[in-house]
Amino acid sequence: MKEEAYFDEAKVLEEMKQDSIAAFNQLYSKYAPILYQRLLRLLKNPESVEEILQDVFLKIWNKREEIIPEKGFKTFIYRIADNMAIDLFRKIGRDKALQLELWAASISFYLHTEERVLDKEKVSIVQEAIQSLPPKRRDILMQCKFEEKSYKEVAEMMGISVSTVSNQLVSAMKDIREYIVKNYREDYLISLIFIAVLAF
Amino acid sequence: MASDKNDKTYTLLRAFINDQLERSQLEELFALIEEADEEQLHIAIRSILEEEHTLENLDFIQERVELLQEDILAKINPPRSFPSKRKLSPLRIAIGIAAMLTIVFTITYLWQFGNDHAGTDQDIASTIMPGGNKAIITVNGQDFELDADRGELMLGADSLFYGDGQLLTTTAAQQTVQVKTPLGGQYQLILSDGSQVWLNAGSKLTYNTGFGTDNRALRLEGEAYFDVVKNPDLPFTVEINGQQVEVLGTAFNISAYAEEPMVKTTLQRGSLAVANDDQKLILKPNQQAILDKDAKKIATRDVNAASIVAWKDGIFDFHGMDVEECMRVIARWYQLDIVYKEKVPSVLLGGKMSRGVRLSTFLEFLEANFGIHGEVTADRKLIITANSK
């Protein structure tokens, strides 16, 4: 079965050239989720990913007249997104503070992973960070991530909107990152890892 | 050749991307990256990202992507009805006008309604009111007409009651429960497992008591939107003539009217498997499975799920519909028979409208935007002619 049998990309691109927002939305729905997933694996941080995706899609819209469907739109949009993400990644690498933040982001993502064997030490850091969250934010995080409730259920239960739930989650991750950065500066962390190694 | 360094960079990068890098290695990784050839680095990162990996956080991503879309659209500054220097496509003009008319008609409608002199207009169409909350539930052969004002019905494990707690009837084991909406009716249901169902007009949902404990199996005819509570131990299944849909916890819409040539299953979030005797396909959010009832083949396409499920929030969203499909939707909501006096153009429609308007409002909308003229007879036939002018 060919999955894209009904999605005529060349036609949609042609419509977008004629200023069709609907066509733009179709392309967005097709590419934004996979690109989000892809960039998140490199950048570990929803805010950075969202900034880049916004730039990518604004660029696609602004340059819509220059797009040549025959040249392969998928390759084109992936290349734009990858280049922006890799540039940011290298920029992060040149700055010690940003590096630490990146690492913190990567472990705060342990929150999302379901079937992964967790490193004890990382888990305890993350747990500590979770404890430091404001109660309501912590509650939302626990409901969504550990009790596996859908965002909608959590939203209804707490009497807030679904987008508030997702915004609170992003803020929670940010708080956790900041907590880790603040409390686990490099030297302390190395000694901690050292102790952890000795303990086994 | 600096291939050792390249290998090391690759290994560390891969560990980093897969969240397996230790803090102590991070600095080494970035030192290597700083020295690396830019093109080599791009190739390495891209090839790691292309590797198979488990998909995670799909709900989260879907939600974020939708929020981000609003921000982006706001920045794009959509060309509205004011013509810019660009060429306006007919579809865009139509959508623009449709949007304006919707507002105008809503205001007109509210004004008429508020002044309560609807009787002055002799046109039949203006007397045909939209559908509302109507359904009949059958338990063990006994029919109950549902109260229109209570809005939702909870289908508990051993009793049926309204959202406000008012008991309708009790049920026993091994009974069949059927909820049926007439044409011009819709109803919202809450199942015993907490899942929600919006049943559209002219539809029928059937299950056996024991739903929620022994199984989560339903049968559907017509159209319904499902928002399913996650339960990995008890898959939620919907049986439609010639097709099965199975999910764990997700939100999706099925349109399976007898008079439609296709059964359309649209996934809004989560994941979903749709199967017939020969095929099984997995849908991602914003994908739609289309079963061709004659060919017995299922294909998928990308869609905007929000527009397909808009009906449950009281909105007709005609985006991507052709005239005939749109007319069938209207026929089910206003209880009409559609008669085509001449062939209608095969254009795609656009625009949104409230489901709470009189038929006359819809007809004006149709005429103004698409040059399609409709006239209603006393026996509720809607006669369509392509262009009145």
Q: What digits encode the pLDDT tens for the residues B72-93?
A: 888 886 443 333 333 445 555 5
Closest approach of B344 to chain A, Cα-based (Å): 23
When CB atoms are compared, the residue of A5, A24, A93 closest to B34 is A93
Decide if B244 is inside a domain: yes
Interface contact flag, A6 B290, Cβ < 8 Å: yes
pLDDT means over runs of 10, chain B (389 residues): 76 88 84 89 91 76 87 69 40 54 46 38 69 87 84 84 84 90 91 91 93 92 93 90 86 92 92 90 92 89 89 84 87 90 77 80 80 86 73
Chain A residue at shortest CA distance from B24: A190
Q: Are residues B137 and B265 in the same domain?
A: yes
Q: Are residues B334 and B290 in the same domain?
A: no
Q: Which residues of A touch B47 (CB under 8 A)?
A: none
Interface contact flag, A40 B57, Cβ < 8 Å: yes
Among B38, B64, B268, most A C-beta atoms within 10 A, so best to mutate, is B64
Q: Are residues B220 and B291 in the same domain?
A: yes
Query: A24-27: which pairs have CB atoms within 8 A and are 24 or more residues apart?
Result: A24/A57, A24/A60, A24/A61, A24/A64, A24/B76, A25/B69, A25/B73, A25/B304, A26/B302, A26/B304, A27/A60, A27/A73
- Alpha helix stretches (DSSP H) within A109-150: 120-131, 135-141
The residues that bridge with B186 in the sheet, in sequence order, are B133
Cα separation, A140 vs A130, in Å, equals 11
When CB atoms are compared, the residue of A7, A41, A152 closest to B227 is A152
Nearest to B333 by CA among B28, B32, B128: B128
Cα separation, A98 vs B47, in Å, equals 25
Coil vs helix vs strand at B167: strand
Q: Is domain A9-93 given the CATH code 1.10.1740.10 in the classification?
A: yes
Closest approach of A139 to chain B, Cα-based (Å): 17
State the pLDDT at residue B266: 95
| Mean pLDDT of all residues in A196-200 | 36
Asked if residue B65 lies in contact with residue B57, where contact means CB atoms within 8 angstroms, the answer is no
Q: Are residues B24 and B70 in the same domain?
A: no
Identify the domain boundary among B267, B286, B310.
B310
Q: Are residues B164 and B305 in the same domain?
A: yes
For A:103-162, CB contacts with B below 8 A are 103, 106-107, 109-110, 112-114, 116, 148-153, 162
Cα separation, B62 vs A37, in Å, equals 10
The residues that bridge with B275 in the sheet, in sequence order, are B244, B280
State the pLDDT at residue A106: 77
Decide if B126 is inside a domain: no
Cα separation, B76 vs B85, in Å, equals 16
Interface contact flag, B300 A103, Cβ < 8 Å: no
DSSP structure string for A27-85: HHHHHHHHHHHHHHHHH--HHHHHHHHHHHHHHHHHTGGG--GGG-HHHHHHHHHHHHH
Interface membership of B78 toward A (CB under 8 Å): yes
Collect all residues with Cβ–Cβ distance below 8 Å to A20 and sequence separation of at least 6: B89, B91, B92
Q: Are residues B287 and B212 in the same domain?
A: yes
Which CATH number covers residue B98? 3.55.50.30
Cα separation, A194 vs A132, in Å, equals 25
pTM (2 d.p.): 0.48
- Interior/surface letters B282-320, b for 16+ CB within 10 angstroms, e for the rest: ebbbbbbbbbeeeeeebbbbbbbbbbbbbbbeebbbbbe
Cα separation, B35 vs B39, in Å, equals 12
Other CB atoms within a 10 A radius of the CB of residue A137 amount to: 16
Q: Are residues B94 and B177 in the same domain?
A: no
Closest approach of B204 to chain A, Cα-based (Å): 26
Closest approach of B207 to chain A, Cα-based (Å): 24
Interface contact flag, B302 A29, Cβ < 8 Å: yes
Average pLDDT of the residues of chain B: 81
Which CATH number covers residue B142? 2.60.120.1440
Interface membership of A191 toward B (CB under 8 Å): no
Decide if B384 is inside a domain: yes
Q: Give me the interface pTM, i.e. the ipTM.
A: 0.80
How confident is the model over A127-181, as pLDDT tens digits? 788 888 888 888 888 888 777 778 888 888 888 888 888 888 888 888 888 888 7
Q: Are residues B140 and B217 in the same domain?
A: yes
Identify the domain boundary among B310, B327, B343.
B310
Q: How many residues does chain A have?
A: 200
Interface contact flag, B72 A106, Cβ < 8 Å: no
Burial class (CB in 10 A: 0-12, 13-18, 19+), B216: buried
CATH topology of domain A96-199: Butyryl-CoA Dehydrogenase, subunit A; domain 3 (1.20.140)
Place of tokens 């050239």: A17
Its domain, for residue B287, covers 132-310
When CB atoms are compared, the residue of A26, A99, A150 closest to B302 is A26
Q: Which residues of A touch B27 (CB under 8 A)?
A: 99
Decide if B127 is inside a domain: no
Q: How many residues does chain B have?
A: 389
Q: Which residues of B touch A58 (CB under 8 A)?
A: 72, 75-76
Among A25, A78, A101, A164, most B C-beta atoms within 10 A, so best to mutate, is A25
Interface membership of B230 toward A (CB under 8 Å): yes
Q: Are residues B304 and B181 in the same domain?
A: yes
Cα separation, B237 vs B157, in Å, equals 17
Asked if residue B9 lies in contact with residue B32, where contact means CB atoms within 8 angstroms, the answer is yes
Coil vs helix vs strand at B324: helix
Nearest to B335 by CA among B379, B383, B366: B379
Q: Are residues B288 and B319 in the same domain?
A: no
When CB atoms are compared, the residue of A1, A15, A38 closest to B49 is A38
Would the pLDDT of A76 be above 60?
yes
Q: Are residues B100 and B41 in the same domain?
A: no
Nearest to B287 by CA among B273, B299, B301: B301
Among A4, A9, A18, A98, most B C-beta atoms within 10 A, so best to mutate, is A18
Total domains in the fold of chain B = 3
Q: Are residues B349 and B215 in the same domain?
A: no
State the pLDDT at residue A149: 78
Rg of chain A over Cα atoms, rounded to whole angstroms, equals: 20
Other CB atoms within a 10 A radius of the CB of residue A41 amount to: 22
Asked if residue B146 lies in contact with residue B181, where contact means CB atoms within 8 angstroms, the answer is no
Cα separation, A115 vs B51, in Å, equals 19
- Split at pLDDT 50, 70, 90, the class of A199 is very low
